């Protein structure tokens, strides 16, 4: 009871601290948030960090999520008189950071909202009131007095087109909002335990920044014009003070890895229109899981020469349907025409609806691509209701399908070219045959596995190697539960055949297969020889797999006198 009461009290809390001269952070701690739209495997909650800078002029940088309305405004009033605020810097307009801008403006109606051109446009769309604004771009400065000269850096596509970074020359703090953030809620204000936060930092990068790796590198380049960064004052997680340089440089290393491949898929979307941004991010995430690089481009405000160059260079194209009417329709239609004029019959394409109300219809556009000889990578994604977790998973899987399609030929060539003694020797490592099954909200998944091994006695634990481009990987984050179904020797072929076939993105993996529900919610295959209910404890990142260590919580054997099916391979360079 006490624990529950404690938990209830911990659900939403606030933390304020002086982090530099004249500088205060207000951290809204959301202890139990377990999903975001794209990075829906949150295990450690998250925080929304906003800041106050008290020069001769008073500025705040970002606010908080609406769910913290009272807590945040009380904390703000505890530090300053909001009526005195001169500037509200909006780094990015997603509601977890700008959800309370309207409330602050009500207290400080004369405050000037500072943001990128796109951010100000987005804000106009959801604030619906007049406000003073100052549009800034890279190199622009704002002198607050007392040495606090703010310099701005445009960072489009990290992860939205509206993002700016703000550097305070007085304190050497860099305010970054989503960039260099992580979903990790703890009482620690700073990055005191690098080992504890590193997996979440990487996961966050992979979900939000990896698909925009070129934009990350461009932003890092622009940051070179700033001074030394003493601390990253981010929008999520602990502030980066102890490992500032190391964690910034990890973005550079990971982004360089992402962009070194020559195979690039272009993802075209329309910023601020319907759900185009979020859906395109989920698709991009799925593509990058296969090791294929993504370049995202906003059809709004795009230079036609750049659209043409990217559409010609990319081996695959994903396009979110732009609007057919409204202020931006002519501009996005021009970009679509440019894409159509640039593609060739060597490319593949995939289309998705933006759920904006008046989307360009999919079928006529698809016909145009087909007539140009362009292959279709995945069934067009049509949206009938508000996007939910299942839809984001479908987009992720569609992206992965596209990436795998592009990799297939290359992989076959690679496999054929390798036939060394070493590969034959590794091939003599045998494994059992298993099917992993998982269910998370309305999303389910299954995967045939043979790289499974017991790894601990007390508590009982096992390790499984899961290829990074497997759809089920997103259902095997730390804390997730699944079932390991152990297949029976001589009685596994039809199950193996079923689960080896290619499923369409979002397709129910269990249609036509008899299952029952395990205590942990995952499906148990009725024909399995035995099953184990497991919970993921940790994951190790190896080049093309995740090593997933899980504790075993329950299990049963159906036939005690039967043996486990065994998988023998000839070579070790593929399954
Ligand atoms: Fe943390 Fe993109 O908002």
Order of strands across the sheet with 132-135? 12-20, 23-30, 46-54, 58-61, 87-89, 112-115, 132-135
Q: How far is the CA of 389 from the centre of ligand 1 (A)?
A: 17
Task: Give the residue whose CA is nearest to atom 3 of ligand 1.
Answer: 94
Instruction: Single out the residue of 574, 572, 575 nearest to residue 422, CA to CA.
Output: 572
SS3 390: helix
2-257 and 261-409 have identical folds: no
- Cα(38) to centroid of ligand 1, in Å? 10
State the pairing for strand pair 316-320/164-168.
unpaired
Distance CA 234, CA 165 (A): 10
Burial label for 398, CB within 10 Å (0-12, 13-18, 19+), is buried
Going from the Cα of 428 to the center of ligand 1, the distance in angstroms, rounded, reads 47
Provide the pLDDT for residue 5: 34
Task: Report the atom number in ligand 1 closest to the C-alpha of 235.
Answer: 1
Ligand 1 centroid – CA 41 distance (Å):
15
How many Å apart are CA 289 and CA 273, to the nearest integer? 26
Which CATH superfamily, name and number, covers 422-567? Electron Transport, Fmn-binding Protein; Chain A (2.30.110.10)
Q: Ligand 1 centre from 72 Cα, in Å?
A: 17
Residue identified by tokens 């604004």 is 133
Ligand 1 within 6 A of 96 CB? yes
**201 Cα–ligand 1 center, Å:** 14
Q: What is the largest CA-CA distance in the chain?
A: 81
Q: Strands 293-298 and 316-320: what pairing?
A: unpaired
Q: Enumerate the domain spans of the chain.
A: 2-257, 261-409, 422-567
For the CA of 94, the nearest atom of ligand 1: 3
Question: How far, in Å, is the centroid of ligand 1 from the Cα of 163?
Answer: 10
Q: Is the CB of 183 under 6 A from ligand 1?
A: no
Atom of ligand 1 lying closest to residue 160 CA: 2
The closest-lying atom of ligand 1 relative to the alpha carbon of residue 95 is 3
CA distance 201 to 176: 14
CB atoms under 10 Å from CB of 418, counted, come to 13
User: Residue 219: is it exposed, middle or buried by C-beta count within 10 angstroms (0-12/13-18/19+)?
Assistant: buried
CA 311 – CA 343 distance, rounded (Å): 6
DSSP assignments along 228-268, one per residue: ---EEEESSSSBBSSSHHHHHHHHHHHHHHHHSSS-EEEEE
How close is the Cα of 30 to the center of ligand 1, in Å? Answer: 14
Q: Is 567 in the pocket of ligand 1 (CB under 6 A)?
A: no
94 CB near ligand 1 (under 6 Å) = yes
What is the Å distance from ligand 1's center to 196 Cα?
A: 22
Q: How far is the CA of 97 from the centre of ligand 1 (A)?
A: 7
Q: Of ligand 1's atoms, which has the minimum distance to the CA of residue 236? A: 1
How far apart are the CA of 390 and the centre of ligand 1, in A?
A: 20
Measuring from atom 1 of ligand 1, which residue has the nearest CA? Answer: 178
- Ligand 1: atom nearest CA of 48 is 1
Please give the structure tokens belonging to residue 410.
């290359």
Question: Alpha carbon of 337 to those of 72, 312, 330, 377, 479: distances in Å?
Answer: 47, 13, 11, 20, 46
Does the CB atom of residue 481 touch ligand 1 within 6 A?
no
- Written as tens digits, the pLDDT of the chain (575 aa) is 223 334 444 589 999 999 999 999 999 999 877 665 555 555 678 999 999 999 999 999 999 999 999 999 999 999 999 999 999 999 999 999 999 999 999 999 999 999 999 899 889 888 888 999 999 999 999 999 999 999 999 999 898 889 999 999 999 999 999 999 999 999 999 999 999 899 889 989 988 898 888 899 999 999 999 999 999 999 999 999 999 999 999 999 999 988 887 789 999 999 888 899 889 989 998 998 888 989 889 898 888 999 999 999 999 999 999 999 988 899 999 999 999 999 999 999 999 999 998 999 999 999 999 999 999 999 999 998 888 888 988 999 999 999 999 988 777 666 666 668 888 899 899 899 999 999 987 788 999 999 999 999 999 999 999 998 888 888 898 889 999 999 999 999 999 999 998 888 888 899 999 999 999 999 999 999 999 999 999 888 888 899 999 999 999 999 889 999 998 888 887 77
How far does residue 33's CA lie from ligand 1's centre (Å)?
14
Atom of ligand 1 nearest to the CA of 159: 2
Measured in angstroms, how far is the CA atom of residue 157 from the centroid of ligand 1? 12
Radius of gyration of the chain (CA): 25
Q: Are 175 and 89 in contact (CB under 8 A)?
A: yes
Measuring CA to CA, which residue among 164, 174, 71, 81 is closest to residue 123?
A: 164
Residue 419: what pLDDT?
64
Q: Who's near 340: CB < 8 A, 6+ residues apart?
A: 368, 369, 372
CA–chain centroid gap for 229, Å, is: 25
Containing H/E element for 408?
Answer: helix 389-417
Distance between CA atoms of residues 378 and 383, nearest Å: 15
Helix, strand or coil, per DSSP, at residue 87:
strand
291 Ramachandran zone, left/alpha/beta (phi>0; psi -120 to 50): left
Q: How far is the CA of 360 from the centre of ligand 1 (A)?
A: 27
CATH topology of domain 261-409: Rossmann fold (3.40.50)
CB of residue 235 inside a 6 A radius of ligand 1: yes
**Ligand 1 binding pocket includes 539 (Cβ within 6 Å):** no
**Which of ligand 1's atoms lies nearest the C-alpha of 208?**
2
pLDDT at 160: 85
* Nearest atom within ligand 1 for CA of residue 177: 1
Whole-number Å distance, alpha carbon 271 to ligand 1 midpoint, is: 14
- Residue 446 to residue 439: CA distance in whole angstroms: 9
* Fold annotation for 2-257: Metallo-beta-lactamase; Chain A (3.60.15)
The CA distance from 212 to 271, in Å, is 14
DSSP string, 124-153: HHHH-S--EEEE--TT-EEE-STT-EEEEE
For the CA atoms of 476, 479, 483, 489, the dihedral, rounded to the nearest 10 degrees, stands at: 60
Task: Quickly count: other Cβ atoms within 10 Å of residue 262's Cβ.
Answer: 8
Q: Is the CB of 178 under 6 A from ligand 1?
A: yes
Provide the 3-class DSSP secondary structure of residue 85: coil
**Nearest alpha carbon, ligand 1 atom 2:** 94
Element (H, E) at 104: helix 101-107
Residues in CB range of 95: below 8 A, 6 or more apart: 65, 66
Answer whether 33 contacts ligand 1 (Cβ < 6 A). Answer: no
Report the separation in Å between the CA atom of 42 and the middle of ligand 1, taken as the mean of its atom positions: 14
The Å distance, Cα 551 to ligand 1 centre, comes to: 33
């Amino acid at each position: 009871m006490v624990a529950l009461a404690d938990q209830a009290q911990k659900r939403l809390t606030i933390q304020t601290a002086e982090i530099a001269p004249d500088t205060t952070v207000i951290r809204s701690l959301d202890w139990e948030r377990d999903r975001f739209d794209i990075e829906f495997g949150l295990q450690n909650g998250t925080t929304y960090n906003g800041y106050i800078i008290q020069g001769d002029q008073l500025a705040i940088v970002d606010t908080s999520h609406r769910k913290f309305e009272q807590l945040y405004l009380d904390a703000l009033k505890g530090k300053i008189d909001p009526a005195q605020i001169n500037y509200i810097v909006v780094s990015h307009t997603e509601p977890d950071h700008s959800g309370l801008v309207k409330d602050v403006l009500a207290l400080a109606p004369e405050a000037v909202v500072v943001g990128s051109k796109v951010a100000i446009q987005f804000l106009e769309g959801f604030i619906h009131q007049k406000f003073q604004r100052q549009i800034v771009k890279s190199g622009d400065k704002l002198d607050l007095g007392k040495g606090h000269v703010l310099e701005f850096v445009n960072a489009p596509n990290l992860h939205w087109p509206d993002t700016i970074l703000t550097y305070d020359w007085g304190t050497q703090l860099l305010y970054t909002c989503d960039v260099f953030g992580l979903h990790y809620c703890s009482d620690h204000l700073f990055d005191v335990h690098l080992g504890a936060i590193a997996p979440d930092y990487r996961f966050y990068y992979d979900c939000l920044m990896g698909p925009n790796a070129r934009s990350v590198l461009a932003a890092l380049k622009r940051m070179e014009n700033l001074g030394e960064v003493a601390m990253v004052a981010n929008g999520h997680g602990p502030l980066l003070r102890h490992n500032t340089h190391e964690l910034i440089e990890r973005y550079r290393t990971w982004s360089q890895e992402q962009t070194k491949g020559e195979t690039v898929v272009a993802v075209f979307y329309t910023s601020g229109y319907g759900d185009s941004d979020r859906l395109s991010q989920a698709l991009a995430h799925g593509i990058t899981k296969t090791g294929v690089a993504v370049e995202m481009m906003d059809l709004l405000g795009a230079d036609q020469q750049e659209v043409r160059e990217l559409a010609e260079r990319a081996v695959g194209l994903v396009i979110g349907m732009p609007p057919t009417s409204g202020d931006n329709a002519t501009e996005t239609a021009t970009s679509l025409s440019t894409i159509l004029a640039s593609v060739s019959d060597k490319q593949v394409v995939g289309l998705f609806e933006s759920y904006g109300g008046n989307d360009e219809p999919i079928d006529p556009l698809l016909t145009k691509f087909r007539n140009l000889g362009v292959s279709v990578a995945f069934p067009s994604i049509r949206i009938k209701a508000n996007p939910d977790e299942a839809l984001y998973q479908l987009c992720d899987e569609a992206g992965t399908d596209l990436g795998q399609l592009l990799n297939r030929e290359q992989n076959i060539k690679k496999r054929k070219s390798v036939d060394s003694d070493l590969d034959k020797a590794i091939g003599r490592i045998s494994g059992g045959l298993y099917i992993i099954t998982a269910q998370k909200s309305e999303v389910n998944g299954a995967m045939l596995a043979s790289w499974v091994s017991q790894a601990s006695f007390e508590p009982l634990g096992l390790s499984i190697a899961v290829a990074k481009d497997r759809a089920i990987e997103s259902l095997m984050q730390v804390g997730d539960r699944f079932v390991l179904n152990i297949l029976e020797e001589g009685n596994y072929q039809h199950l193996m055949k079923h689960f080896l076939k290619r499923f369409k993105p979002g397709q129910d993996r269990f249609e036509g297969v008899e299952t029952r529900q395990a205590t942990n919610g995952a499906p148990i295959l009725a024909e399995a020889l035995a099953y184990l209910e497991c919970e993921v404890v940790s994951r190790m990142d190896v080049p093309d797999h995740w090593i997933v260590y899980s504790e075993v919580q329950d299990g049963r054997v159906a036939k005690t006198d039967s043996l486990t099916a065994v998988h023998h391979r000839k070579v070790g360079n593929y399954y």
